[in-house]
Amino acid sequence: MLVRVVWLLLLICASSPSSARQPPRDPFASAQEIMKWIGGYRSRPEPERLPAAVAAMSRLGLFRDLEAGAVYVGFMAGVLGSEPERAERLVAAMFPMPPEDQVAIVRAIAYSGLPDWKELLRRFAERMPARKVLVARHLDDRLPTLPTLPLEGQPAALDTLWGYYFASANMAPVERIVAVLPWARDTEKIDRITIGSMAKWTLANNALQDKPLLDHLTSELDRQPPPVARELRDVIEAAETFETGKIRKEATAAMEELRRKGPESVRKFAFWGQAGQTALAFGCVVAGALGQPQIAVPCVIGGAASSAAMRIFAPQ
């Protein structure tokens, strides 16, 4: 009798709503969770999860503005470039993808650095008829690859380079960022001082969180030309002492000085907003303080500049 009672209780518990199996939790339910995964990817690579992450990026609208979503495109490229044996299978698993979001796939393949990236792009061209022109221009070398992305006046390019590094721990994108550090002291072009300041601030913030990156920057110090070494020394000092805010304050002051004393084209505030030449990296910090986590997340977790913060510093 006792055995029957026990079995009856087990059946009741198994059939009760409270014990019903809960649906599995979506690990990529928000942009914050995606960025958290990206931020930890170097220490725990999970390339097989990339298609699911890309699907979530599309669902969450992270590709709608590819200037703001450049860090995601760079990350996709970095995973593909690090997984040559799996690259075709990973790209195939990203479909179906809305036509407007397929630009991210095209760029990720083109930026991947794979020796056969053009052949890989050709294989998927038929699945992306809406991107026919973009595909053709990449295949004809009319658009840049990752090593040739122009940086002056292109803050999204920094995001792309950081995204690639987050996926691969490859130092080549970092070295491109290091190379523009002297621009932080440019006294003529707001384009350059903005990008140089962003490079300096994001290098310091990422190095603060990433010991291998800090070690690499330190090892490069003696091999850099004096203008680069001077700024790189500031980056290393800020990372080692946890005083990255000093870099932001100095850059903001330098930009204000250039605005006040520079040529008329620089002093016009409207020019800043229209051209997107504002302190993006610093805008990340402001965005977080203003309760705009969708802007600040890449900066807080990854340390990258966020192009979504493009006009945070545009004067009213």
Distances (CA, A) of 82 to 125, 129, 168: 22, 27, 6
For the chain, the domains span 29-148, 171-316
- The model's pLDDT over 104-119, given as tens digits with 9 standing for 90+, comes to 999 999 999 999 999 9
Report the C-alpha gap between 93 and 251 in whole angstroms. 43
Report residue 301 CA to chain centroid gap: 10
Label residue 210 left, alpha or beta by phi (over 0 means left) and psi (-120 to 50 means alpha): beta
Q: Which residues of 123-152 are buried (b: 16+ CB within 10 A; e: fewer)?
A: ebbeebeebeebbeebbeeebeebeebebe
Range scoring the smallest mean pLDDT among 66-70, 126-130, 250-254: 250-254
Q: pLDDT value at position 84? A: 97
% of residues, the chain, pLDDT over 90 = 57
Instruction: Output the CA torsion 58→64→65→69 (10° steps).
Output: 0
DSSP letter (8 states) at residue 300: I
- The model's pLDDT over 140-155, given as tens digits with 9 standing for 90+, comes to 999 999 999 999 888 8
Report residue 165 CA to chain centroid gap: 9
Under a CB-based contact definition with an 8 Å cutoff, are residues 235 and 251 in contact?
Answer: no
- Scan for tokens 């409207």, then name that residue: 270
What is the crossing angle of helices 245-261 and 280-289, to 10°? 120
At 53 the three-state DSSP class reads helix
pTM over 0.75: yes
Under a CB-based contact definition with an 8 Å cutoff, are residues 200 and 231 in contact?
Answer: yes
Residues in the chain: 316
